[in-house]
Structure 1
Amino acid sequence: MQYSHEDENFPLTRFESMLKTNDILFFDSSEFENIIHHYLENGKIALSKRAIKLGLEQHPTSINLRLFQVEILVIENKFSEADDLLDSLHNLEPTNEEIFIQKANVLSKQDEHQKAIDTLLIAIDMSNSPEDDADLYALIGMEYLFLDKFDNAIIYFKKCLESDTTDYSALHNIVYCYDFLDKNNEAIDYLNTFLNSNPYCEVAWHQLGRQYFAIKEYAKANAAFDFAIISDDTFVGAYIEKGKVLEKLKKHEEAIENYKITLALDDPTSFALLRMGHCYSKLGQDDLAIQFFKKTIDEDPLLDRGWIAICKFYMKRLNYQKALYYVNKAVTIDGDNVVYWKLYATINKRLKFLEEAERGYKRALELGNYELDTWLDRSDILTALGEYEAAIFNLLQTTEFYPENAEIEYRLAGLYFTVHQSEEGRFHLKNATCINIDYSFIISELFPQLTDRPLVRAIISDAKKTSNG
């Protein structure tokens, strides 16, 4: 008998035409189950509820249709109603494992993860099918993940994979747990054992390669990705990872070849384009490097690494005007990106656009970038602009994050002397020389007008004598 996709959708088509015409058509309970499942899969809750209602009118004793009702109640966070319905269903069919699975789902949604696990274990005792067991083991694994019990989660994801070797999400979860526990070697041992009995599993080879990459065993990682590609020569992820390994091995031409394959197999990914740009840059092929950096930001304007790469490319070649053009575009697209603002400040500073540079550092600080150099660079620019009070205020804020720091204290000393607050200047200069005399060059560098002041010279020379003595 010929079977086509249209046959599969036939009950659905009939059901939807019935809703339009208000005619009552008969469906058997399994047809209703398929219709409801289809609507739930596609997030059409209202239509699911219509189908459940009509289904129960035609099949009032169907436990499976009632279980769909439970699913809807869980989606709507009506947990006590779901519980009551499950209790009544349990009285009707005390050995129906699906009832226990739904009970566990209700418990899980209420963060009762240990109780959910206990309930799923009862379902496993009732199960007669290894395939169902695999799903149940995976559900228990997920509950243990919610509890941050990674070792227990590993046990159940492994049981899942033993029951169904094609459950790649369980494989991913095992590796995720090992990663979280920083157990790369255990992950490698497990994957190698798994591959002994599943030698053509490209996902396992791919994961093995990533583990070797993490512990810097690049030759082994390369071999693992080769096996992933032999198992599936259209596996884009394996070519990407192989490219990354080849970059580490300084084989940039080969890395480019692997990234090129991914562009041929699938829509270009911004990651592959970006890596190709970096490889061409390493090979000194600047025209191709910039071409691929531009392709990266065209492909994904929100990928910050693309904009950063293109700005740094031009900065390295001292083409600050071009770098400025791109960093201006970057901050327009994402005005809350700290790295963009630091680059914006640095580029403007190199171009002697001090007001714009100060704006960049100020914005970076507002966005929570409290690195010492951000505070100091902003203060130096405010000093250069003659904004001495603002520079002082900026440095006093800095001392909250970096108390007793010589670089800050010398600057405060210089600024206080500059605004004729000699007592404060003297206090901070003495403090600075006590912390570290080696930074006293900051005064001559940033405040050359102060170097001949007797008080300043006396404090610095006294401190030098003391440190040498």
Structure 2
Amino acid sequence: MEFSQGDDNQNYSLSKFESMLKTNSVLFFDSNEFENIIHHYLENGKIALAKKAIKLGLEQHPSSVNLQLFLIEIYVIENKFDEANQLLDKLYDMEPSNEEIYIQKANVLSKQDEHKKAITSLEIALDISKTPENDSDLYSLIGMEYLFLDQFDKARESFEKCLKLDHTDYSALYNIIYCFDFMDKNKDAIDFLSHYLDDNPYCEVAWHQLGKQYFAMKSYKKALAAFDFAIISDDSFIGAYLEKGKVLEKQKRYLEAIENYKITLALDEPTSFALLRMGYCFEKLGENDTALQFFTKTVHEDPLLDKGWIAITKFYSKKKNYQKALYFINKAINIDSENVVYWKLYGHINHQLSFYEEAEHGYKRTLELGNYEIDTWLCRADILIKLGEFEASTQTLLQAAEFYPENEEVEYRLAGLYFMQNESTKGRYHLKNATKINRDYYFIIEELFPSLANHGILTQNLIATKKASN
């Protein structure tokens, strides 16, 4: 139980305990006081103080099962599973019908990835449990264990039992929808939420989730109605306004979308998501100066939001203001040098500015970070050709061919590169592959290797490959 301003006794106990620590004096607390103090520290992540309270508590109340259960929690946090199990065995001998023992046992098992055994332990606790409130918590814990096992139907059934016991348990409601989403069962989720709303017609969370399901199914009219009902149920529900704005954008009702995003800014501190979406809306309306203002506000509000930097960089790229675009993508990379999208944009912008070495570096980093899209390979290869790095370009394309084994653009480039390096046998091999896939793409060699076409090498080998294929 957390200490609140209105509970003078609990606040007094906490103050007394902290005063005792400062003065090194020893004061007496009953076991309930220690339990409340420890719970407070654990809830607030003050593990060291919780450990001190447990130690002093057990010195004064060595037979307290509840204080020993808190000690087990500490053992679990510190991954001391052997100690936790030894103490649990001792407590089981003392109180075999204490459900908390089985809950802590399940906690230990779960931390050791023994999720099936954890479920068994929680089911025993459920048999012992005497209150609906405890049952609800136990079903929730069982549901989480099934999630760890990727058994989403069983997890959902457990969370549904939570919701039956407490229809305001929104955590259970979210978990149920998460299970449906993971299994791509949007229609089942809609059916479930519709039945839930029959009994709880003013539940803004359920309306919000229903709207998201309709949105995922592109039923925008129904999604909009659901978000409107969420707002009717709670007119300060920021999430509903944000989602409604997204639906209105899909319907190209940009001014209305902006109004909904503005409401969220009035209700709470500005969110980078709302600022970003407003920027996109103004851009769609052709109000570029205003759009730029909101993109700029987005990156000021949340410098770690990559979508903000991407939006502002693409904004300048569309205007062909590549110097400005380069300035902002450099700022983005300085904040997050492992972002693959940043590096791809960096490569593209430098390419447009004819800064070929920088562009090549950008595409190289893009590939190193795991972006294996065909245009990334081709862009890097083409820049290396411009730089006269034929061998490096060849190696890049051979790597690309592992991912795209029958791609005419890769094959024509390899043919040209091998001819340029006087490896005619390999050149003819790749030219033959390329013409088999698509003869119309021979212009790639003419564009990238004009000297080959001018000297007739291309024509001669095209004739040769044609005769060979016949």
TM bin, normalised by shorter chain, reads: over 0.9
Relative to structure 1, is the Cα distance of residues 60 and 427 closer, same or farther in structure 2, using a 3 angstrom cutoff?
closer
Relative to structure 1, is the Cα distance of residues 63 and 460 closer, same or farther in structure 2, using a 3 angstrom cutoff?
same
The yes-or-no answer on 1:302 pairing with 2:304 is: yes
TM-score normalised by length of structure 1: 0.94
Within 2, Cα distance between the matches of 1:63 and 1:419? 81
Query: Which has the higher mean CA deviation after the structures are superposed, 276-285 or 444-453?
Result: 444-453
Residue of structure 2 in register with 1:137 after alignment: 139
Name the amino acid aligned to 2:183: L
Q: How does 1:242-321 map to 2 (within 5 A)?
A: 242-321=244-323
TM-score normalised by length of structure 2: 0.94
Residue of structure 1 in register with 2:215 after alignment: 213
Deviation per CA, 1:259-315: give whole Å up to 9, x if none: 111111111111111100000011111111111111111111121111111121122
Deviation per CA, 1:393-423: give whole Å up to 9, x if none: 3223323333343222222222232333333
Residue of structure 2 in register with 1:382 after alignment: 384
Relative to structure 1, is the Cα distance of residues 443 and 12 closer, same or farther in structure 2, using a 3 angstrom cutoff?
same
Q: 1:201 Cα deviation (Å)? A: 1.4
Deviation per CA, 1:202-251: give whole Å up to 9, x if none: 11111111111111111111111111111111111111111111111111
Relative to structure 1, is the Cα distance of residues 59 and 358 closer, same or farther in structure 2, using a 3 angstrom cutoff?
closer
Within 2, Cα distance between the matches of 1:255 and 1:355? 43
Residue of structure 2 in register with 1:30 after alignment: 32
Within 1, Cα distance between the matches of 2:246 and 2:464? 56
Q: How many residues align?
A: 466
Within 2, Cα distance between the matches of 1:285 and 1:233? 29
Q: 1:139 Cα deviation (Å)? A: 0.8
Relative to structure 1, is the Cα distance of residues 142 and 119 closer, same or farther in structure 2, using a 3 angstrom cutoff?
same
Name the amino acid aligned to 1:203: V
Residue of structure 1 in register with 2:409 after alignment: 407
Within 2, Cα distance between the matches of 1:465 and 1:243? 62
Q: 1:225 aligns with which of 179, 203, 227?
A: 227
Residue of structure 1 in register with 2:160 after alignment: 158
The yes-or-no answer on 1:65 pairing with 2:67 is: yes
Q: 1:237 aligns with which of 228, 236, 239?
A: 239
Residue of structure 2 in register with 1:420 after alignment: 422
Within 2, Cα distance between the matches of 1:358 and 1:69? 57
Deviation per CA, 1:372-396: give whole Å up to 9, x if none: 2112111212222222233223223
Q: 1:457 Cα deviation (Å)? A: 1.0
Residue of structure 2 in register with 1:348 after alignment: 350
Q: How does 1:66-215 map to 2 (within 5 A)?
A: 66-215=68-217
Secondary structure in 2 aligned to 1:61? Answer: coil
Name the amino acid aligned to 2:332: A
Contact between 1:293 and 1:310, CA under 8 Å: does it hold in 2?
Answer: yes
Query: Which has the higher mean CA deviation after the structures are superposed, 406-415 or 426-435?
Result: 426-435
% identity of equivalent residues: 69
Query: Which has the higher mean CA deviation after the structures are superposed, 74-83 or 293-302?
Result: 74-83
Secondary structure in 1 aligned to 2:338? Answer: coil
Relative to structure 1, is the Cα distance of residues 177 and 459 closer, same or farther in structure 2, using a 3 angstrom cutoff?
same
Contact between 1:437 and 1:464, CA under 8 Å: does it hold in 2?
Answer: no
Q: 1:168 Cα deviation (Å)? A: 1.0
Structure 1: gaps of 5 or more residues:
none
Moved over 4 A (4+): 461-467
Relative to structure 1, is the Cα distance of residues 23 and 327 closer, same or farther in structure 2, using a 3 angstrom cutoff?
closer
Within 1, Cα distance between the matches of 2:112 and 2:196? 35
Within 2, Cα distance between the matches of 1:451 and 1:60? 92
Query: Which has the higher mean CA deviation after the structures are superposed, 346-355 or 295-304?
Result: 346-355
Task: Report the RMSD for the aligned CA atoms in angstroms.
Answer: 2.0
Structure 2: gaps of 5 or more residues:
none
Contact between 1:434 and 1:463, CA under 8 Å: does it hold in 2?
Answer: no
Secondary structure in 1 aligned to 2:57? Answer: helix
Secondary structure in 2 aligned to 1:451? Answer: helix
Q: 1:130 Cα deviation (Å)? A: 0.8
Contact between 2:428 and 2:465, CA under 8 Å: does it hold in 1?
Answer: no
Secondary structure in 1 aligned to 2:416? Answer: helix
Relative to structure 1, is the Cα distance of residues 52 and 209 closer, same or farther in structure 2, using a 3 angstrom cutoff?
same
Contact between 1:103 and 1:116, CA under 8 Å: does it hold in 2?
Answer: yes
Deviation per CA, 1:317-366: give whole Å up to 9, x if none: 22222222222222222222221121112122222222222222122122
